[in-house]
Chain A
Amino acid sequence: MSLQSGSHSTREWHRVAALGDLEVGVARVVSVQGRSIGIVRLDDGVFALRNSCPHQGAEIFNGGVITGTMVPSQPGELVYGFEDQVIRCPLHGWEFDVRTGNAVFGISPKRVVVYPAEVRGEDVFVALPRAAGQ
């Protein structure tokens, strides 16, 4: 038996939404087995992240917006990019990549927990670690 996180033997898939109910670029917060999870639909897939900012634990999807951000640029220039790929925490403004959970452009080694998400037919499923004893 593997102890590797995310292996089929240690995680369990849960239906969390109908795909048609998710608006592209707008996060929906769902609760699964007591975990608060932000579901984000983008043009090329659906992503699921723990609704908790790794900085100070704020509910990042409650009031946080899916947005783009300023790309590292030459001094004095503003270059906007990554539209709809960034979640910005409402508490202190830290930004994370919704696809990977990583903080943008190295502002922190901390990351938002990401759960595997899949679209099956018209439904969206998220995989969570199997609860102990199951």
Chain B
Amino acid sequence: VIDCDVHPLMRGGLADALKYLTPAWQQRLQPLAKSIECPGVSRDEITAGACLLVPLVRLNAWSDSLMAAAVASACNDYLIDEWIASDPRPKLALLLPSLAPATAVDEIVKHGGRPSVVAATMPLVNLLLGEAHYHPIFAALQDHDLTLVLHPTGAEGLFLGAPALAGGTSFSAAERSILMHQVAQANLCSLILQGTLERFPQLRVVFSGFGFGWLPALLWRMDMDWRRLRIETPWVRQAPTEYVQQHVWFTATDHSELRGKDSIRSPALAALEDRVLYGSHDGAATLDAGARWGVPQLAFPRWEPAPLEPSPPV
């Protein structure tokens, strides 16, 4: 089992990684360090034989892009030393600060050559991914053959500067969770219609934790409006669905819309099955081996199989 959605826990939050900050940033962040959380599971809670670690830090809740850059860099150093240096099972998605593209590129260059680094993750901000702001980051990802993994941090729809959810400010975490797919839809639309996947033809993107039951309706509308309004974006050279089939993946657990007992079943969804990667979100892999899943090695070509060894006891 390869689990493509596991979040590594830093028990003390940024306090765990304080030593990787410069002395000045240590002074600046020490009082806040425990409140800067990186929630998830500890190493012994992971049951899959191989997994992708996607650090979740609410960098997109902060307006201070310098702080986001410093924290991302320290978290990467920590996770490399503590999680992947001595354990062949986990691979890492580097944490990138969306509003500090120069730092994001530096992190990719610094760590992107490590065999255990196969991806990068970037908390989304209120600037859609098709914008030129991200071009240096995408160029660096493409150069290092790293896959971009997008995952909600919980700041969406809640903090100024994080992506807004449609209609207004939702009352509860439940409402935000229900509506979170809007963020994925908007960014997927932006990546395709702004020509990002033409500009970076090797770029691969995984939308993780956003579900995908909404995808057939979005793709139908994107294809239809592309035919109708192609003159607005003539660089979109094929139907949007084609870009998804070539560049984009999604993650789901057993309990998601596709395979759970309450699943949505439609031919349009079934046609997208191989774009869906298994991701437990909580490290407790319960993969239904009989189901058809996307092949992680296609989404993450840098992912080389670890030497065979028995999984640790659950």
User: Which A residues have a C-beta under 8 Å from some C-beta of B?
Assistant: 69-79, 92-95, 103-108
Interface of B is mostly: helix
Question: Is there an interface contact between B231 and A70, defined as CB atoms closer than 8 Å?
Answer: yes
Asked whether, in the complex, the Cβ of A69 is within 8 Å of the Cβ of B235, the reply is no
| Cβ-based interface call for B195 (8 A) | yes
Contact of B194 (CB < 8 Å), options: A72, A75, A103: A75
Query: A95 to B230, Cβ gap below 8 A?
Result: yes
Report chain B residues within 8 Å CB of A92.
227-228
Residues of A within 8 Å of B230, CB to CB, are 69-70, 95, 104-105, 107
Q: Are A93 and B198 in contact (CB under 8 A)?
A: no
Query: Which chain B residue lies CB-closest to A107?
Result: B227
B227 touches A75 (CB 8 A): no
Chain B residues contacting A72 (CB-CB under 8 Å) are: 234-235, 237
Per-residue A-contact encoding for B172-214, CB less than 8 Å = 1, 0 else: 0000000000000000000000111011000000000000000
Assembled-state Cα–Cα distance A108/B224 (Å): 10
Contact A107 to B237, CB < 8 A, known contacts A75-B199, A76-B195 = no
B: residues with CB less than 8 A from A are: 194-196, 198-199, 226-231, 234-235, 237-239
Give min CB distance, A83 to chain B, whole Å. Answer: 13
CB distance from A47 to the nearest CB of B (A): 22
Whether the Cβ atoms of B234 and A107 lie closer than 8 Å is no
Which listed residue (B196, B229, B234, B237) contacts A93, Cβ 8 A? Answer: B229
A-B contact pairs, 29 of them (CB 8 A): A69-B230, A69-B231, A69-B234, A70-B234, A72-B234, A72-B235, A73-B234, A74-B195, A74-B198, A74-B199, A75-B194, A75-B196, A75-B235, A76-B195, A77-B235, A78-B234, A92-B227, A92-B228, A93-B227, A93-B228, A94-B227, A94-B228, A95-B230, A104-B230, A105-B230, A105-B234, A107-B226, A107-B227, A107-B230
